[in-house]
Structure 1
């Protein structure tokens, strides 16, 4: 262990080289590496035939200690040539100015340890890659101080992050804030090209960083790890080219020993796993201090010399980097085309690195208050910048599985609405790539999908795989299904092809997300209804519409349903006569209602009913309320409100209704006079959409005639947007066309129906924006309220 040196000597070294106290102390340690490197120069060689002969079992330094941890002489020699030629170094680069460390992260860690004492700070422009926080903060315990821009006078957008004057103000603001927080600033760090914006700094801006550091006696750290990953972006014909800080004469702006450059193999050479980084510094004290700890990050010579081989092979290196730039150009075009097509904001002046800086607010946040979050995640990178909390880095390079992995990770942080947007966007991409043969087969086999899914239920395949604790063989699935293995094999391989199950090996299958989606009671009941009733209706719709002259159906007694089943009764009556189908339908309607997605979460029931005191008055009448789940939810949420709660539906449905305490079950046909007069709330969910306009008018009129002046009719329905109706809503609309000659409606169409019978649509409350589910409040006109 080295003897401690006098504090006066430590202070002298700190002042001379701008080091931390610990780094200054380490400069006093004995370093055997100097001796090893000097000895190497005296070894016998073709140019030194009288030199010393090295006696060793293994004469190859690649598998030995070589000359120590500061770097393979072969790699250092190759880097000198590379930095001179490719980085256009303004001054000769010397081997003694280079240290080889485990990746650029290792370089930044060593620099932070060398210049910062615990709790001292380094200013860095925001946003920045989160890995820098780990490099500077974990061992060195330095504090990264973000230089933010949005509050800077004159700031107009992301382009200003490259403006020298805006940077000057941002750096001064960051320094003032650090001083206010009692954090001593020791340096400024920046990535050039910028990570995550993917743009190169102009020369004048680099000079401004140097001037600022020189003025305040700070170190300037340049991370240039993406230096050679600058590509052509046709959308940015005037893009700023990369200029290394080594190519600039900054001596009139900053003390040369306070200026350091980090580079590495991970990005430009696509070899992050090699963990090779190089530090260039003309600060002799800093090089010595880092040398004392470099043994802790000793990169094997065999790895170093692999990089040396690449650097010294000009044909390979030039060709490799050209190919890399070509791939980056292509992948950037793919990603930015996708972003433009789907109206996703992104920083457009990107021409470096393998990423794009995009605004994914609508995908990451379902609630406006989420925008206050200080951090978000994308491609495993965490950006800590409140001002840009809705912006994320998306990778544009790499194989398809890596890109898909990013999307999957993004979706894992997204809410339900955002995931639906991601799914829609991906489907549009897939559709844009499909040829005519693929399109024909995809639509032509849709009926096969429905038929085989029904077989999956009949043979208990989905539940069996979903409940299994691992893959199952064809024989195991066949045995539980009491079916032939040959049939099961054919079904399972088809399910694998449409991603309903996953084939993990020959003859072995396991559940995936779709399997689990299909295995629940809701899915089985829903599919039983769709397959048993709706699918047959779809099949005959083209012929039915041809027979009625391709007019919009309005006769609820002559629909595609009647045509499909050869009956004159309506779908509900038909299901009564077919109990299996009625059971599917009732379960589906009951189970698909999610308590957290209910009109009760948005409508001010208590405020509207607050003045009620008569327990004999009807409080809530649920018309066409099925077996009473909505009534049960209302009673559970408002047990203290006075008044009667009444369920109304057809006799066959009420016969199966829940026996909820405090709820009266009443058999009633809604198209006859409403027997409950003067209720506070009349409520219907998904009832009017089952009927054509003239029947909805009759329905509304019967309720209107029973209303008291303060009564409210609440209609819980899908309210279509005027533009951009989604897949589910538009599908249900056409299902209503075939079953009831009815339709889903826009707010304007609902308003027109209400006004046609003398009601006023006073307000709407959307509680499930994803499915356009909204409760509409309808009242009597004020003039009518006065007369009653």
Structure 2
């Protein structure tokens, strides 16, 4: 190979290989190693790059969204009360840390639950292959916990529970099962920004936004659902299902019984599926305020239940996102069977299942945790809302979740996506708060922001509120009589207007 290259060098100008390299043919013998290296580099740079799949390089992941950009800004400059007091405070992460001490206390009192001692399992049991469908003890404990957080008003069959590595995997798996590439799911706006990735990226399935707005406090309406279906029909796109989040992310509010009744009637009329994402069902400030779609089905004697599928996770209510535990609960036998086959790509470790089976089977602990967690979330939410009120900021009146839906429309220079992102950029880089702009949630109006309050300490929350107060004072904007907007979900007629998730785009409503 080297002799071939040396011969080839006789026919070319060495100066072309490196601008800083000048020599004659007679000099090449003393510089051959350098020349060979330079030439090999030149040849390598001319090779075409190795291609990747269209799925891998697709922009439907949504990583360019401000939702993810804010996380990157936080990672580069994280707030620390001692080491970095001027850093970015993370308020874009829906994580529950207000009751983490209860989990730590349980493990201190029950060390055998970790599975490394002589307790419920041994190292061998955790290390070797287990049932891919999930340990029976854990599925039973999970079913019981799901009943408990719903006030024991419904029953869940452990044999219908399919375990996945978090709700992200559960939602994607259901999308694979219920729809083909090119089909679509209806999703009311504003919705969780991660749905763009979870539902679309690898499945090839589209999202048809169901446009809700502040005129009726972002309530889901039959008219809005019909409008979305008509848009899909006009574009010859097949609707395969409707995905709702109850309680809502990012609104932080539950859906009323009457609304759920109408939603079930709607999906039955259209002969489509209903996915009810209920991962915040245990984070409702009062148990009587949450109605699961399971409760509606039970009251209907499970009529049309084969089209209903519930997603749940322990990431939010129990504050364990790192454990990656999600579930699909379907009333459709074929969906359960198929989901079990496909769940082999997103298994939950045996050690995690054993630990949680022990914890969730302790009803005395779970009762205390649910009650205490609800009270702490309610108190934290109230404190944050009051702080916003004092700063002159209004928000939707929520009753659930780890966040609030904050209205900053008076601060926009222009009611456009550009105006919203300019304000968001100021809050991120000047105020040093990472919050999620409404456009990343595909909100039909600009100026709304999702702000998380449960992932940081009380002391850090106070710092965040102080920064917000200073920001408002500098802007000289005070709303003398701010108020919270009632966000109880009812059905009203609504004209649906939407400029797209990224401002004034083309006429396409497909994401």
Q: TM exceeds 0.5? A: yes
- Deviation for aligned residue 1:367: 4.6
Measure how far apart 1:288 and its partner are. 2.0
- How many residue pairs get aligned? The number is 347
Q: Within the alignment, does 1:196 sit opposite 2:250 as a pair?
A: yes
1:161 equivalent in alignment to 2:219: yes
Residue 184 of structure 2 is aligned to residue 121 of structure 1: yes
Q: How does 1:602-617 map to 2 (within 5 A)?
A: none
Q: Indicate conservation of the 8 Å contact 1:376/1:384, yes or no.
A: no
Give the SS at the match of 2:162.
Answer: strand
Q: Quick one: structure 1 residues 187 and 403, their matched pair in 2 at CA, closer, same or farther if it must change by over 3 Å?
A: farther
Residues 313 and 126 (structure 1), Cα distance of their counterparts in 2 relative to 1, 3 Å cut: same
Partner SS state of residue 299, structure 1: coil
Partner of 1:666: none
Alpha-carbon offset, residue 384 of structure 1? 4.0
Hey, what does 1:244 align to over in structure 2? 292
Counterpart-to-counterpart distance in 2, 1:397 and 1:215: 39
**1:368-422 Cα deviation digits (max 9, x unpaired):** 55567699966357634352221011112232389569959xx9xxxxxxx9x76
Give the corresponding residue for 1:290: 339
Q: Where do residues 472-551 of structure 1 align in structure 2 (5 Å cutoff)?
A: none
1:131 corresponds to: 194
Please tell me whether residue 73 in structure 1 is matched to residue 136 in structure 2.
yes
The 3 A distance-change label for structure 1 pair 257 and 88 is farther
CA shift, 1:64, in A, is 2.0
Aligned twin of 1:51: none
Alignment root-mean-square deviation, CA: 3.4
Do the aligned partners of 1:394 and 1:406 also contact (CA within 8 Å) in 2? no
- Residue equivalent to 1:434: none
Q: Distance in 2 between matches of 1:267 and 1:307?
A: 15
* CA distance in 1: counterparts of 2:250 and 2:222, whole angstroms: 20
Relative to the length of structure 2, the TM-score reads: 0.61
> Would you say the 8 A contact 1:371–1:390 is kept in 2?
no
Q: Deviations over 1:292-325 (max 9, x none)?
A: 2211111101112222222111121121222211
Equivalent residue number for residue 610 of structure 1: none
Q: Quote how far apart the aligned CAs of 1:189 are.
A: 0.6
**2:452 aligned residue:** 395
Question: Any unmatched runs of 5+ in structure 2?
Answer: 1-121, 425-433, 479-511
Aligned-partner Cα distance in 2 for 1:59–1:340: 53
1:170 to 210, 218, 224: 224
Q: 2:125 aligns with which of 50, 61, 85?
A: 61
Contact conserved, 2:416 with 2:446, CA < 8 A, in 1?
no
Distance in 2 (alpha carbons) for counterparts of 1:112 and 1:405: 41
Contact 1:99–1:279 under 8 Å retained in 2: yes
Pair 61,406 (structure 1): closer, same or farther in 2 beyond 3 Å? farther
Q: Distance in 1 between matches of 2:183 and 2:155?
A: 33
Q: Counterparts of 1:53-452 in structure 2 under 5 Å?
A: 60-68=124-132, 70-87=133-150, 92-150=155-213, 156-158=215-217, 161=219, 167-231=221-285, 241-249=289-297, 251=300, 255-347=304-396, 349-361=397-409, 365-367=412-414, 370=417, 379=435, 383-385=440-442, 387-400=444-457, 423-425=470-472
Aligned residue number for residue 3 of structure 2: none
Write the distance in 2 (CA, Å) between the matches of 1:271 and 1:406. 25
Deviations 1:86-107 (A, max 9, x none): 4357764322211000111111
Distance 1:386 1:130, change over 3 A: closer
Tell me the SS of whatever aligns to 2:207. strand
Quote how far apart the aligned CAs of 1:355 are.
0.7
CA contact (8 A) 2:186 2:243 kept: yes
Report the CA distance shift for 1:78/1:89 in structure 2 as closer, same or farther (over 3 A): same
Greater C-alpha radius of gyration = 1
Cα distance in 1, alignment partners of residues 236 and 385 from structure 2: 43
- In 2, Cα distance between the equivalents of 1:383 and 1:422? 24
Contact 2:200–2:206 at 8 Å: present in 1 too? yes
Cα deviation, 1:263-293, whole Å, max 9, x if unaligned, reads 1101110111111011101212112222222
2: CA distance between counterparts of 1:369 and 1:98?
A: 44
**C-alpha spacing 1:369/1:283, structure 2 compared with 1 (3 Å):** closer
Q: Which fold has the larger relative contact order, with Cα–Cα distance below 8 Å and residues 6 or more apart in sequence? A: 2
SS at structure 1 position matched to 2:253: coil
CA gap of 1:116–1:89, structure 2 versus 1, over 3 A, is farther
